[in-house]
Amino acid sequence: MLFIKILSRLAKLNYFLLVLSLILIIPFTLLPIISSSHFPIISDAWSATYYVDATNGNDANNGTSELTTWKTIAKVNASKFNPGNQILSKRREMWRQNVNPSPISQ
């Protein structure tokens, strides 16, 4: 309330531009700063993570969880991926193929 009284007195003293500036600037400085993590560039709804496990995987699986992993890099190369998708391989596994994933918009 005190702040509004000060602004009204300044307005009466012909400090119109100062009052206008304060009215426009102060509310924006009081707003909480929203982290950029709340606005990801690629939405989780569009991205997916695929898992590959040479020992326990199965290419008939969908590959989207650690329990339904793919077995071969050939399955990865035959699949289409969207921007933001991730392909994770199990640690200490060995493949003798190159990974050449295809984008969905080819």
Give the chain's residues under pLDDT 50.
34-36, 39, 42, 106
Per the CB < 8 A criterion, the answer to whether 59 and 75 are in contact is yes
pTM: 0.56
Return d(Cα 46, Cα 85) in angstroms, integer.
8
Return d(Cα 60, Cα 34) in angstroms, integer.
43
Domains and CATH numbers, the chain: 2-28 (no CATH), 46-92 (3.30.1910.20)
pLDDT, the chain, mean: 77
Q: What is the pLDDT of residue 90?
A: 92
Secondary structure element (H or E) that encloses residue 66, with its range:
none
Give the CA distances from residue 44 to residues 1, 7, 81, 84, in Å, rounded to whole numbers and listed in that order.
Answer: 44, 46, 14, 9
Q: What is the pLDDT of residue 35?
A: 47
